[in-house]
Chain A
Amino acid sequence: AQSVTQLGSHVSVSEGALVLLRCNYSSSVPPYLFWYVQYPNQGLQLLLKYTSAATLVKGINGFEAEFKKSETSFHLTKPSAHMSDAAEYFCAVSPTNTGNQFYFGTGTSLTVIP
């Protein structure tokens, strides 16, 4: 069975500070992993994805994530938070060998303090 756990439903950082949003997955086979962002009153937008190539994945808006198989983690980071980063962030997993479902975490709401 596939599942995703996002630790921390709410994260607050100061503008310019490091952003770290945590995601752990459970999967019986190596999955594909994704981070999506949702700005207020908008749909889900892909930030980045891991599909078994490089373990450090760079995405849009300065975000990156590192796939660590030993820790079953795919944490999202950004060196310096910007006010425009305030949004809801969702980690998702898709098994590589079965079907075409995406399994989402419960989301982390990021607040950036000026």
Chain B
Amino acid sequence: EPEVTQTPSHQVTQMGQEVILRCVPISNHLYFYWYRQILGQKVEFLVSFYNNEISEKSEIFDDQFSVERPDGSNFTLKIRSTKLEDSAMYFCASSEARGGTGELFFGEGSRLTVL
């Protein structure tokens, strides 16, 4: 069964360092997303991506964050200068169709710990 894969599963970094989280969405999907979950809190929307550009982003997704689809398979989330409060589980998701009409398929998550 096709699945969304994420790497790394866990990354520990120092505050101020750049981090890149990688995702390989399901191959025929057109919409890509990043969500995050701070421990004990809600799963929060960060950004959605379609047709090689950001289609929506939340208030969380500030200038420190960027997304890219550098080739036909990878979808990356970059945090330019990490802060302690960026520590969270980051989930990548993809879907065939837009919004609620299409099921989101999630990866297993990348846990980011900022020290």
**Chain A interfacial positions (CB closer than 8 Å to B):** 31-32, 34, 36, 41-46, 49, 51, 90, 92, 94-96, 99-107
B108 is an interface residue with CB less than 8 A from chain A: yes
Give A96 to B106 CA distance when docked, in angstroms: 20
Q: Which stretch (B36-44, B66-74, B79-87) binds chain A?
A: B36-44
Q: Which residue of A lies closest to B43 (CB)?
A: A104
Give A36 to B98 CA distance when docked, in angstroms: 18
B17 is an interface residue with CB less than 8 A from chain A: no
Binary interface encoding of chain B residues 32-76 relative to chain A, with 1 for a CB under 8 A from any of its CBs, else 0: 010100000111110010000001101000000000000000000
Give A103 to B46 CA distance when docked, in angstroms: 11
Interface size class of B (residues with CB under 8 A): 20 to 34
List of B residues within 8 angstroms of A90 by Cβ: 43
B109 is an interface residue with CB less than 8 A from chain A: yes
Give A92 to B95 CA distance when docked, in angstroms: 15
- B91, A101: Cβ atoms under 8 Å? no
A-B Cβ contacts below 8 A, count: 70
List of B residues within 8 angstroms of A102 by Cβ: 33, 35, 45, 99-100, 104
With A32-B101, A95-B99 as known contacts, state yes or no: A43 contacts B91, CB within 8 Å.
yes
- A106, B100: Cβ atoms under 8 Å? no
Closest 10 CB pairs of A and B: A32-B100, A94-B100, A100-B99, A104-B43, A43-B106, A44-B106, A43-B108, A100-B98, A101-B45, A106-B42
**Chain B interfacial positions (CB closer than 8 Å to A):** 4, 31, 33, 35, 41-45, 48, 55-56, 58, 91, 93, 95, 98-101, 103-109
- B103, A103: Cβ atoms under 8 Å? no
Give A41 to B56 CA distance when docked, in angstroms: 28
Q: Which residue of A lies closest to B103 (CB)?
A: A46
Task: Beyond A32-B99, A41-B108, A99-B48, list 16 extra A-B contacts (CB 8 Å).
Answer: A44-B91, A44-B93, A44-B106, A45-B106, A46-B104, A90-B43, A92-B43, A99-B55, A100-B33, A101-B45, A102-B99, A103-B45, A104-B35, A104-B42, A104-B44, A105-B42
